[in-house]
Structure 1
Amino acid sequence: MLIIEPQTGDIIKANIAAHQFYGFSKDKLESMSIQDINLLSPEQVASERALAKSENRNYFIFRHKVKNGDIKTVSAHSIPINYNNKKALFSIIQDVTAERKYKKALWHYQSNLEHLVDKQVNQIDKTKRNLIHILFLSILLLSILASFLFFLLKRKNEAEEQRSLIAQIVEQSPVSIQTTDLDGIITYVNKEFINSSGFESTEVIGKKNSILKSGVHQTALYENLWHTITSGKHWVGEFYNQRKNGETFWEKANIYPLKDSKNKITSYVGIKEDITQLKNDEKQLRLASTVFKTATEAVMVTDTKNKIVAVNEAFIFITGYQESEVLGKNPSLLSSGHHDVEFYERMNETLEKSGQWQGEICNRRKNGEVFYEWLSVTALKDELGQLESYVSLFSDITKRKKAEDKIYRQANYDSLTGLANRNLFVDRFEHTLEVAKRENNTVAIFFIDLDGFKNVNDTFGHAKGDMLLKLTTTRIKETLRKIDTVSRLSGDEFAIILSGNHDVFSFEKIASLILEKIASPFQLEEIEAYVTASIGISIFPDDGETSEELLRKADSAMYKAKEKGKNNVQFFTKEMDIKAQQRRNLEVELRKVILNKELILHYQPIHEVSTNKIISAEALVRWLHPIKGLVAPSEFITLAEDIGFITDIGDWVLEEACKQAKYWQSQFDVAPKISVNISSVQFQRQDFISKLVHILEKTQLSPDSLILEMTESLLIQEDDQTFIQLLTLKEMGIALSIDDFGTGYSSLSYLKRFPISILKIDRAFIKDITSNSEDEALACAILAMAKSLGLKVVAEGVEDLAQCQLLTKHECHFIQGYFFSRPLDADAFTEYLTQHI
C-alpha cells in the first residue's frame, strides 16, 4: 500500500508490505517519488489509463523496478483520500508478474498448437480431410471448453487471492479502519484500531462508536456527520476521543459510504489516523511562536547564506528596523564598525567548532545610535547534521554597561582630572614591575605635591582650585609619553610611573621639565595663580621591589624636597628616611594600645529617614594616645595592617561593640543593632567564625543584633572559602554589609553570589550629589541595582538637608552622617538614644 501526492508523485506513506516488495527501507521509500520506480514514460502511462478506461478496468498495469534491479509487472488500484488535510491517492499495488507470464506462455502455446495442426492437415490425403476436419473441430471445441473452464477457475482463484490481499492490506494498514452497518453498528475493525483504542475487536463489534466518545464534542458534530454520509457523501473531520484506559486522543477521520452495483448504500467505512502528536506539535509551535513574538530578548534567524529570514518584536524595538527592512539582508547592516575583521573571524571559527558563540558586541541602531548587546548565536542543524540556520538572541545592555562603566571609572579614575586613581595606579604599577623584572628594566616613581595649592584653594575657592588641578594634569601629561601612567592620588598629590631604559639623569631631566611647566602662571579665568611642585623619586630595583615600598620611599623623598625649600627634585636616600623611623616608633606604641587600654570606641547612628528611628550604630575605633591625644583611624589602621596587628584590634573592637550593644538592649525596649567593620585579614583568618561565636556567647548578644561591614576587596576573589564563611554568618542570623561601595573593584558578580544584605554608598559619591549630575546618576544607578537585588542601601557622609532630601527622593531610606550626628563616645551615644528612641 502506498499513499501518493497526486501532483508531484511523491510517496508520502508506505506500509510494511510495500517495503518488503520494493526492497527499500521505510525512510528511503518515503523519500522517493513514484517516478523513481515506474518504468513507463508519461506517454505510456497516459496510454495505459486510456486502455483501462476503454476496457472498463478499475486498475492500471505498470512496470515497476525494485531495489535489486528486477522488473515487476504490477496492478495499481487507486482511490482519492484526504491525508493530513491534503488530497492524496491511496494505492494498492499487486504483483501480477507471474500472471502476465502465464498468459503470455498460454498464448504462445496456443499459437504453436494451431500452427502444428495446420501443418499436419496439409500432409493428409485430401480424401481424409473431411474426417480429419470433423476430428479437428472436436479437438478444438474441447480445447476451448477446457480453456474456458480453466479461465473461470483461475478468475475465481484470482478474485479470492485479491480479496485476501486487500484484507491483509486493510488489516496491516498504519491507519485505523472500521466498517459499520446502516445503523452505525461496528461490523469490523483492523489491528491499528485495536492498538489505537485499546479495545479488543470483540468489545466493539456490534456496538456503536459512542464507546469512543470523550464527551467533549457537541451533538451538532455527530448530526452533521450522519447527515453527510447518509446522503452518500464523504465526511472529513477530527474527533477528540477516549481510549479504553481513559486516555484522550485526537483522530483525523475520513468516512465514506459504500454502495452496491445499484448505487445503494450498504455500509460505511471509516479511515482514521491518530493525530495526537500532530496536535501537540501544533500546540508547541503556537507556544514557540508566542514566545518568539513576545520575548523580551531580540531574536534573529539567518539562513546558511547569512541572510535574515525572521526577527521578533524585541528585535524591532531594540534596533529600530522594521521586519520588512531586514528580511533577506545581511546582519552586517547593524555593524557599528567598532569590531575589526578578526573579531568576526574568531566568532565564525567558534561557531564552526562548537556550534555556539556568545559575548558582548557593539552594534548600531537604525537611527545611528551605537548600542551594546549581549549576543548568543547557535547553529541549528537538520536530522542529517547539515547546517540549517543560525539563531541569534541578544539583549540591550547599553544602560547596564554605562552604569558599570560609571562605577568602574569612579572606582579607578579621578572624576575631576580623568587620571588614574590610587587603585588603578597601584594595579598598573605592579604590572609594570612584573614586566621590568622579566626584562631587567628600570622603573621610577615620581611623587608630586603642589606647593601653595592650599592657599589658592582657600583664597579663590574650590572651583578655581579644581581648574588649577585640571591644568596641572595637562601640563604633566605634555611632558610624558602616552604609555606612561599619571595618577592623582589625592587632593594635590600626583604620581607618575616611568619605565624603560632610563637612567638617573634622564629621570631628573623629565622631573625638572615638570617643575618648569608647573611653575608657569596659571590663568584661572580672570585670576592668575602661581604654584610650584616638590617631587620625590624612588627607583626600582635600587630602592625597593614592591609598589608599596617604592611609593612610600618616593613620598619620603617628596617631603625631603619640601624641607629643602620646595620647587625641587629629590631622589630617595637611606639617610632621608626619617619618616620611616617615626613610623617604626609609632609601630612600637601601637602594639601596646590594647594592653594600655588606649583604644576607645565612638558610635555613629544610622537613621531610617521615614521614621527618624535609629536602626543601627556603626562602631568606630579611636586611639587615645597619652601624648598626642585622639589619633584618627587613618593614621594607624594602615600601619596596623602592615605589621599584622589589625586582627588584635579587630577582635577587641568586635567584643567591645557587642558588649555595648547588649548594654543598650538592657536599657531600652528597642535598641539599635551594632555595625562593626571587619578587615580582610581578620575575616580570612581560619578561626574567625569560632572567635566570633565565642564573643557572642561571652557578651550574650544575639547574632541578629550584629551587622558586619567589609570592603569590596574582601569579596572580589569570589573563592569558595569566602562563600562558605559568608553563608555561615548569614545562617547564624548576622547581617552582612559592603562598606564604601563603588570605591573598590568593578566586578559586581559577587553581589549575586554572596549573601549580602546591605550596601553603603561611599561618602565620595554623596559629597557633591546635589551639584554634580554624574554623582547623582551614579548614586541612582547603585540604588536601582540594589533594589533589583533586594538589598538595603545606607548613604554615608550625608552632611546637609539637601543631600538627605535628594537621596530620599531616589528611595534611599537609610542615612548616616553629620547631618544627624557626628561619632559619639558610648556615654554621649546613650544620651542620644534616649532622645531618639
Structure 2
Amino acid sequence: MAGRNESGKAFQGRRGGFFARIPLVVALGYALVSAGWIVFSDRILVSFAGGYSRYQELQTWKGACFVGLSALLIYLFLRSAWRGIFSAYSAAVESEHRLELALAGADGGIWEMNLLDTDDRMAFVSPQFAARFGLAPGQRISAAELAAMTHPDDIERARRSFQQFLAAGTGDTFDICYRIKARDGSFRWLQSRGSILSRSKGKVGRMAGVSFDVTERFEAEERVRQLLRFDPVTGLAKQQGFIRSLDGILAGAREEFAGLVKVKIAGLEDFISDSETSEDARIVQMIGDRLKRFAEHGVVSARLEASVFAFATPPMPARRAVHALVREVLADLAEPFEVEGRAVRIRCYAGGTLFPHDGRTGATLLRNCRHALAKAKKAADTNIVWFTEGLDTEFRARNERLRNLGDAVARGEIECHFQPVIDLTMGKVAGFEALARWRMKGGGFIPPDEFIPLAEGTGLISELGEEILRQACRTAVGWADRFDDPPFVAVNVSPVQLADPAFPATVARVLAETGLAPGRLELEITENAFIADPELTARRLEVLRKLGISIAIDDFGTGYSSLALLTRLPFTRLKIDRSFTRDYG
C-alpha cells in the first residue's frame, strides 16, 4: 500500500508538471505556425500574383483566412479545455459537497495551516466548524488564540505532541485529542488528524487535516468508567475504588487510628427490585445519602454488595474518637427512613476493624471486617462486633476445615454413628438414627453442626450425604442376623440434597448396591426442606415413597410450617420438637 501511494504521488507530480507547461507549448506552437505561415504564404502569393494589385488582394484574403483559421483553432482548443476545466470543477465541487456532508454528519471540519507563514495563523477553517467555536466565517485563527481556547490541562500535552510530530518529519498522520471551548462556554473534545502537504528546504510547509467533535464518545467512555467505579443507585464507590481511596488515606497516617466498618442491612432485599430503577430502590438511595452526609467529617463510604455497605473514618489521634464516630454513623443509619409516607426501620449488622492493629492496608482491613461481620450476625444483641485475633484464628480454622472437607470422604474420615430409637409401647429397639461424624486426622471429632453447613454452602453435601447413606444402609443389612425383627435405619437428608432432581435415583442406587430392603430405610427431612417450594418437595417425596421408603418430618414446630401444609406431604412419621409442646403440660 505504501509503494502504491508513493507511485501515485510521483505520477501526480509528473502530470502536474506536464499540465503546467501546456500554455508555453501552445504559445510556442502558435508562434512557429504563424511564422511559417507568414514566410511561406508570401512566397506562394508572389508566384501566383500577376501584378501588385493582384498581390494585395491575395494578401488580404490570406490574412482573413489566417484570422479565421486561428479563431477556429483557438475556439476548438478553448472549448475542449473549458469542458475539461468545467468537468474537473464540477467534480471538485461535488466531492467537496460530499466531504462537507460526511464531516457534518461526523461533527467534523477541515483545517489548513502554513507553517512558513510569519503571520502564524490558520490558512483555512471550514465555516460550519468555525461557527461552533464562535469564529467568524473566514476568520484566520492564530496559534495564541487556539491555545487560549484549549483546556488548560491539555495545552502542554497538545503542544509537545505537535512539536514531536514536526521534529520527526515523517509522512505519518498527526493525531491527538484535546478539549476546546465552544461558543456556549463548555469544553468539547476534538480529535484532530493532519498530514504534511509540502516541505520547503527541509522544513514542513503546509499541513491540512480534519477535526472531529468526539465529545459524545468521551462522555460515553466516562459513563462506563463511572459505572465500573461507582454504584449507579447510591453514587458510592465500589469495592476496588473504596480500597484505593482507603489506602491513600492510610498512607498519611502515622501514630493515628482509623476505623473500617462493614455493614449488612438485614432484609434490604425486601425493599429493592432486581433492576433498582423504580421507587423501591429509594431506601437504598437514602442509605447512601446518609453515609455521604458524613463526608464532611472525613468519612469515605462504599456499597460493596446489594445489601452490604462500608465506611471508613479518617485517621484520628485516639481510639475513643474512632469508636465515637462509628457509633454516630451507625446510630444515624438506625433512624427511621421515610418511604412512601411510612416510617421504615432497618436492622444493621456491623463488623469493624481498627487501623493499624487489625491491618495496614485497605484489603486486609476489609477482609477482617468480613470475619467480624459474620460474628455480628450471630450476636443479635450487639450493635457492632470489632475484629480480634481470636476471630482471625477462628476463621483460619474454619477455612482449614473447608479445605480438608473436600477430601474427607476419599480419606475415609466421614463416619456413621448410630443412636437407638426405642419403641416405648413394646419396650424394644425399633430402629437406629444415623449420625454423621467427621474424624479429622490430628484434630479429633468435628461436630455435624460445624461441618454440615460448610458442606451445604460449598456443594459437597451431595457427596457427603451419599456416603452417610451408603454406610448406614450397609450397616443396617448386618442387623438382620442380630435382631428377630430387623430395625429400620433413619438418615437425615439436607434440603440441598432434596432439591437435587437426581436424589431419588441416588437413593435407589445405594439400596441396590447394599441390598437393604426399602421398607427398612427412613429419610428424615426438616421443615426448611419444603418451605421454599412445597409442591416440588411433595413430588420428590412421592417418588421416594413409591420406592417403599418411609419419610419422617424432623423437629416439627421450629419453623414456619402449618398443619395444613402437612396434609400435602406424603410423610409416614412426624417428630414434634420439644419446644412446641412443653408449655402444654
Query: For the superposition of Structure 1 and Structure 2, which TM-score range results when normalised by the shorter chain?
Result: 0.3 to 0.5
TM normalised by structure 1 equals 0.35
Q: What TM-score, normalized by structure 2, do the two folds share?
A: 0.47
Determine which structure has the larger helix proportion and give its number.
2
